[in-house]
Structure 1
Amino acid sequence: MSATTPSAEARTILVGVDLGPGSPFDPTLDELALLAESAGDTPVARLTARRKAPDAALFVGAGKADEIKALVEGHQAQAVIFDQALSPAQQRNLERHLGVEVLDRVGLILEIFGARAQSHEGKLQVELARLQYLSTRLVRRWSHLERQRGGVGHRGGPGERQIELDRRMIGERIKQLKARLDKVKRQRGTQRKSRERHGTFRISLVGYTNAGKSTLFNALVKARAYAADQLFATLDTTTRQLYLEDAQRSVSLSDTVGFIRDLPHTLVEAFEATLQEAADADLLLHVVDASSPVFDEQMAEVERVLGEIGAARIPQILVCNKSDLLEPTQLPRQRVDEIEREGGVRTPRVFVSALTGEGLPQLRRLLSQAALSQPSEPEAAADLRFDVEDNHADPQITVSPRTGTDDSQR
């Protein structure tokens, strides 16, 4: 347990529980702290516990709950945030026991999404996910959404526009939101078909949140998309045309929402229309924070979500960003090389710094070769195989039919 004593309001206690092998657990609680700070809160103490299974009533058990209560009183905290998902009963019991607001990881991520969504579509998606989450928690506690406190620090959220909180009204609102999002999905489908008819090569940026996707997007297309050193700085998909001089053509580049461990399933469902941009891409730029000590776990989480949305087999370029933060001994001799991903898939890797521009020329050359190898017929799906034969020369790309087998072994 560690503590600080900042002066800001919305002081929070962070709690993580190790439930043994198979359950995600961060002993440092650093990512949870970043999430809390991204939501505008100030973590003042951290506490971890170990249990074989969650306590049905208080998740951490009565003894540990008393320990958390002492921390709340000692630090004059206004809220407690758990790094795991809580059941409605556990959340309600903990709030009664601790005397302050209790939020779990899912609820905290929803709070951040609610504050960051800017576009009409993004707000619809977040409201849908939030109502699905709140329907099991608020119905049994209060009678009106106007009394909804909006999470840590008493922030507001997209659900506050609803006055009544009974299940029927929430259910009707969810139906309305799903219908409107279906319309958005159809509109996006029409736009994608138009791009396919024109033979547009589609590239999507994907990666763990705060890996630097938006900064890289801005550096490549000279755009002004919002970018900040915080989790989920941007939620709304932005698409721009990127001109590749070596290929003498333009491609479509999309910046998508970042992924994170335990991304609420309701958000994956709600953001289906947005994530479809990645699922329909011809090439994915998987952006990784090369300076992160847990980049392997972050890569695995992104791959898991890509599998959920049907984008696991789309060719990738692994973009190791923030190389300017690495020690010289951590950098490879050449900025472009090749790694073997799960299943024996060979994938090019390029080290870049979106902030300083290092490595961007090499990345542009890779993109140009990928665009030049696009099949003449849009419906003729193909895998892009990157053969890096000479690190001193430009990597060569060949195209082979999509068969589901490992091209490297043919």
Structure 2
Amino acid sequence: MIKIFHDGLIHNPPGGGSSVFEKEYVNYIFDYLPKKEVRLSVGTIPNSSPHFGTLITFSLAFSLAQRLEKLGKSVTVVVGLVDTGSLSTDRFILEDIEYQKSLASTGKINNYLTDFEELLKKLSSYFGNLNYEIVNQSSLSLHLKAPEIINKIINEKEKIGSLLFPETKRLGLRSACSQCGLADRYGLNNSYEDTRINFFCPRHDRYSIDIQKDGLQRLEFETPLRNLIRGLLYTEDNQEKDVPYSWLRITGSDHAGFYQEQTFYKGAALLGADITNSPLIVYSPLVVDWTGAKLSKSILIEGGYKCLIDQGLEYLFNWRRFKEKFGDEGLRKLFKEVDLWLEEPSKLFRSYTIFYFVELFKEEKVITSDIQLEEETWISLQEAQVEVFPKYDI
């Protein structure tokens, strides 16, 4: 076990986004949403109970939605639960090809669905009974422009495959076998004939779908491809005058920077999209461990973080444990904390260690706004632009 010491000071230095948006971040976003209605998109793969990263991203989505409504927008939070994702235990290597069974195929999506439903109800209630809806990946395929966009991607499959999947240089496009549920995760054995896609199952041989007929909803998209398709569909809606809403996206900041620039913006440009109409993307802070690596569901599923769990910090990874330990009061504290980040963007454009939240939920936590300080101390804190937390060891 490693003991971590700190001086109790929290710094929020300017830089990047926080140097541009000191106080008016929400107003800036508002100005780039030309339509009265707004659909605010957020999502996750529901392969575990919601952890702190998910709680923060969802909280930020509802907080921003409430603030936009107060400015005059009509907002619906659209929560995408990616049922085509999989658990590592449901992936198989056969003849050097990785196959998977999705959460929908195995039914394991139901293991955690009630956790997400309960969390969303509480978020909606806290932030003013906001409208929200839950969708799965097939909702993308229902879009009127989906056949056209997917066809464009297939026609440029060499370029898009190399851009999004440099290791395989193939489109991460798949469809589960109707008999056993297996799917070639990265589409390595796919072949394409006009609007027909041929897939291979190691148990049941070849099968195919026609994207211009009834097969579109059977398609599954690996994450970078899903990100591109979703962004292109939102772009179409944003620029279409007959569509009454503008799209806005919220996601974790691990999907910012190079990832978004290459997998979405460059991909969209290759396909001829007008990216000036692409949705604004708001990035939520990463929650990181003591090394600076993000809090990871996959590491948790594989048995990581045992040391933290042994110290009673399982609530960082598990919504149910968080509820048991802190109840609704703890949720309100978290929602209030995230809401403040939109008022002070220097607290938004940064990451937070898990130990920050350990302190936040300590009963003896002290924040400068909650106590009376001597004038000299108060002035020095204002000049330093910091908050004070007690010292601790972990």
- TM norm structure 2: 0.25
Higher relative contact order by CA 8 Å / sep ≥ 6: 1 or 2? 2
- TM norm structure 1: 0.24
